[in-house]
Amino acid sequence: MYSSTKLVACVLIVAQLLGAIQCGVYDNTDSWLLSDKSKAFPENAVLGGYDSYGYENFVGRVLYSSSILPARVRAETGYATYNTDSIANQVTSYELLLSNETVSYDWVRSFDGFRERNAVSVGTSAANERVYVCRGRTDGGIFIGTLYLAQKVCFIRYENLPMRQLSKYEVLVRKHTPAAFTPFEVLVNELNNTQ
Ligand SMILES: *[C@@H]1O[C@H](CO)[C@@H](O)[C@H](O)[C@H]1NC(C)=O
């Protein structure tokens, strides 16, 4: 019987031999702001859920071990945590997802690694697959988690709680809003009023 450490080491060696280990690449489709607790929290950060203590968690991303991963960030304290499909960790510096007048974000119900239209990808993993942002209700909160489509579950591991693997979850998707339309008459009236 091999110990799990040995198994992991073997998997890494085999992966290296095959040249499968890649560096995570950030996805630049969306706007992300590098931040930490010393910076003012942006008003247009995207809400993702709340943790067991009732703190709201906003959507962030971090680089960990050659993978770009979703993070959950508390506005009040800048406390940020994330998880892979095995480990849970915390960081002091992270990027926050921002919405604006034309792009906003929604959560849609999904399951089994189905690829949702306009799903937000944070970047790629060490295995060079896209990493998506999911969330699910567990452990007295709604937690942002990590979705690798091939693994078909939303991985959520928070602090010392056990790893959760949800096959039903929600996925973060991008929504384009057309710029506000200003009727011609309003423009003319404003012009007349200023004369
Ligand atoms: C809004 O965000 C999108 C996606 O990040 C970006 O492409 C676009 O330029 C932004 N629009 C404005 C008005 O800042």
What's the CA gap between 21 and 123, in Å, rounded? 15
What was the pLDDT predicted at 190?
Answer: 54
Q: What is the pTM of this model?
A: 0.82
Q: Is 103 in the pocket of ligand 1 (CB under 6 A)?
A: yes
Q: Where are the domains of the chain?
A: 19-178
Residue 136: phi and psi, rounded to 5, are -155, 160
Residue whose CB lies within 8 A of the most ligand 1 atoms, among 46, 96, 100, 174, for a mutation test:
100
One pLDDT digit (tens) per residue for the chain, 195 residues: 445 555 444 445 445 555 555 689 999 999 999 999 999 999 999 999 999 999 999 999 999 999 999 999 999 999 999 999 999 999 999 999 999 999 999 999 999 999 999 999 999 999 999 999 999 999 999 999 999 999 999 999 999 999 999 999 999 999 998 766 555 555 555 555 544
Question: How far does the centroid of ligand 1 lie from the alpha carbon of residue 9, in Å?
Answer: 42
What's the CA gap between 37 and 150, in Å, rounded? 34
Structure tokens that stand for 71 in this block: 């993070």
What was the pLDDT predicted at 1?
Answer: 45
What was the pLDDT predicted at 9?
Answer: 46
What was the pLDDT predicted at 177?
Answer: 83
Q: Is 100 in the pocket of ligand 1 (CB under 6 A)?
A: yes
What was the pLDDT predicted at 23?
Answer: 82
110 contacts 97 by C-beta, under 8 angstroms: no
Question: How far does the centroid of ligand 1 lie from the alpha carbon of residue 176, in Å?
Answer: 10
Question: How far does the centroid of ligand 1 lie from the alpha carbon of residue 104, in Å?
Answer: 10
What separation in angstroms does the CA of 126 have from each of 65, 84, 105, 176?
Answer: 7, 11, 26, 30
Q: Is 30 in the pocket of ligand 1 (CB under 6 A)?
A: yes
- Say which residues have a Cβ less than 8 Å from residue 68's Cβ, sequence separation at least 6: 24, 25, 26, 27, 61, 62, 122, 123, 124, 125, 131
The neighbouring-strand residues paired with 135 are 144, 170
Atom of ligand 1 nearest to the CA of 30: 5
Atom of ligand 1 nearest to the CA of 100: 1
Question: How far does the centroid of ligand 1 lie from the alpha carbon of residue 134, in Å?
Answer: 22
What was the pLDDT predicted at 170?
Answer: 98
